[in-house]
Chain A
Amino acid sequence: MATMAEPVGPMRPNIASADVQLPAIKTFEQVDEEIANTLKPTKAWFLGLMVAVGCMLLGASAWTFQVYAGLGNAGYVPPVMWGVYIITFVFWVGIGHAGTLISAILYLFRAGFRTTIYRASEAMTVFAVMTAGLFPIIHIGRPWKFFWLIPYPNWRLLWPNFKSPLVWDVFAISTYLTISTTFLYIGLIPDIAVIRDREKNPTRKFILSILSLGWKNTDREWRHFTRAYLFLAAFSTPLVLSVHSVVSFDFAMALTPGWHATIFPPYFVAGAIFSGFAMVWTILIPIRKWWKLEHYVTLNHLDATAKVVLFTSLVVGCAYLVEFWVAWYSGVKPEQDYFFNRVFGEWWWAAWIMLICNMVLPLSLFSQKLRRNTAWLFILSIFINIGMWFERFVIVVPSLSHEFEPWQWTTYVPSWIDMSFLVGSFGWFFMWFLLFIKQLPVMAIIEVKEIVPARRAAAGQGGHH
């Protein structure tokens, strides 16, 4: 897959082997043992799962109430008909970006630091997109009509408008969810086979046998697997960039002040990678600490991810400033008013949270000392995620509440239902993630083994004996 133990010919790209990247990992057996260890439940895991399920139930209760009492309870005030639901939808789609970026794009670029972090990131992607997918369904108010989103001839013989960004969204998100899930599962098959062959419980062994599809590590399987994995990565790479571009079209295709900008697709994609990497820290830093996997996700790996975060923060910060400049230079009054209001108007606090969390705090990553300080990275990841949620808030709410006509101007206060959904979405996401890490390997066993020097009989060739 990603790498090889030793270069064979000049045509084969290679990355540093484990004796350089992961010096504390010596044998294949050690890899199996230590990664399989993460499948044993701990008290912290049970506690985390209880909190996640509790939050999820709060969201589920709010949804039940909303279905019963109607969408009017959601805090919408015309013309602010996109509130927390759409903000949170865009937030979770953004979180879902880093996983495929790490697993596909960094795979094609042969970035060595992806080997031990990509599985958790891929799982994060799938669950984040699953979470995002709930919000359009919640937002339509009558969730049982969700299939109207799918293009098929309805009772009026009128198909959805394929020129609408909302229909593009349906295609983009459903393709992204399908391909991310497929990519995750295909990469997991050989690892499930490893777990299957270690399993003692007959029921679990049976389930794992089915999930592993009878995988046996034969040369035929590896040959076709590596090709398929490469092509899936090649497909996923433009998909990563397209999905958040399409999501940004939801805004950019509208004439609303603050939205109608050609900078939106690259700005959204950079923001998505930025927030996604922050969420990778939020989940991986505790995992490496709790399961003592510091020698797998090393400080060098975290340092490399911090550089990506710093770079994307600079891109996002530049986009924020360019937006202000374009508004001034355009000479369009509503556009200028919107951007003035963004930082000095009713929602000034949201905009400043966004600017401080996304532009100012990440500048600390210019310091190598802080890039290698896991406590700081964890704290920063929380700030970045807060900042990125507020970025979407700043895009959605001030624009809609302050459109062209002054008589339309209004305010927006999220209701308890909105906030319950927001909390519930975190509960839903973490519930799935915690269940995942207890059932399936959170690191790619096969890819780690690929960089561990193989056992050799010939003296002086390295490897383990």
Chain B
Amino acid sequence: MPGLVANFRELDRTVSAVKELQRRKLGNLTVYSPTIHHELEDAIEAPPSPVRRFTLIGGLCGVTMGYWMAIWTSDYWPLVVGGKAVASWIPYTIIGFEMMVMVGALSTVFGMFITSRIPKLVVDVAFDPRYTNGDYGIFVDCPPEKEKDAEGLFRQHGATEVRHAR
């Protein structure tokens, strides 16, 4: 999607530009930062990550699968020992627990990949290698008629560079 991308050197300037863009609703934002900053997170006001749902569903599926596998196979191919239950849930809790962790964790990673949209197979036109080093970037996918406003806003908030990304 075409839009404008601005480069910032300082965190506080980036935060104030993000807040102002949000207030003026100039377009959807993508913010690039060299590391995690909670000030930026707060300014962006994004909803909570849905990754937790993948974790919950994966964990529940895993624990069910672990118990089911152990109980079903014990009943289908029983190892009969006098006075002992063929399927015993107490030792099978270990299998259930391990499967819960395994499936829950892998589905968390799967959820992260889906929601973060990685692996990314297309070129991100707004990205600049400086954003993994020490600089900040804001990309706004505004319509052409709002580009001037957005550029003015970026300059006013101390952007070191503003360019079109198409």
Contact = CB atoms under 8 A, between A and B. Distances in A.
A34 B99 CA distance: 40
B147 to A, nearest CB: 21
Q: Report which residue of A171, A197, A456, A463 has the largest number of chain B beta carbons within 10 angstroms of its beta carbon.
A: A171
A215 B118 contact: yes
Given A222-B33, A457-B10, A28 B116 contact: no
Contacts of B11: 5, 454-456, 463
Contact of B101 (A179, A189, A220, A457): A179
B105 A214 contact: no
25 contacts: A5-B37, A8-B38, A27-B134, A28-B34, A161-B79, A162-B73, A162-B92, A172-B94, A175-B99, A193-B132, A194-B133, A216-B120, A216-B132, A220-B46, A222-B41, A224-B115, A226-B49, A228-B108, A232-B109, A235-B108, A236-B105, A242-B98, A447-B35, A454-B11, A457-B9
Nearest to A453: B11
A223 B88 contact: no
Interface of B: 9-13, 29-42, 44, 46, 48-49, 51-52, 55, 59, 66, 69-70, 73-74, 77, 79, 88, 91-92, 94-95, 97-99, 101-102, 104-106, 108-109, 111-113, 115-121, 124, 127, 129, 131-134, 158
A4 B119 contact: no
A153 B104 CA distance: 25
A194 B134 CA distance: 10
A19 interface: no
Nearest to A458: B12
Nearest to B134: A28
Contacts of A196: 132
A197 B132 contact: yes
Given A175-B99, A219-B30, 17 more contacts: A4-B36, A28-B35, A32-B133, A162-B92, A194-B132, A197-B133, A214-B120, A216-B127, A218-B32, A220-B116, A223-B41, A231-B105, A239-B101, A246-B94, A449-B35, A455-B10, A457-B10
A450 interface: yes
Contacts of B97: 238, 242
A121 B100 CA distance: 25
Per CB-CB distance, the 6 closest pairs between chain A and chain B, nearest first, are: A214-B120, A228-B112, A197-B129, A28-B134, A454-B11, A227-B49
A62 B36 CA distance: 49
B101 A449 contact: no
Nearest to A191: B132
Given A197-B133, A457-B12, A8 B51 contact: no
A28 B95 contact: no
A216 B70 CA distance: 43
Given A222-B33, A457-B12, A8 B108 contact: no
A432 B152 CA distance: 53
Given A171-B94, A217-B132, A223-B49, A228 B101 contact: no
A446 B105 contact: no
Contact of B37 (A4, A162, A216, A461): A4
A178 interface: yes
Interface in A139-157: 151, 153, 157
B12 A461 contact: yes
A157 B134 CA distance: 60
Contacts of B132: 190, 193-194, 196-197, 216-217
A221 interface: yes
A458 B12 CA distance: 7
A159 B73 contact: yes
A213 interface: yes
A182 B109 contact: yes
Nearest to A446: B35
Contacts of B46: 219-220, 223
B60 to A, nearest CB: 13
Contacts of A161: 79
Contacts of B48: 227
Contact of B116 (A221, A235, A461): A221
Interface string A252-293: 000000000000000000000000000000000000000000
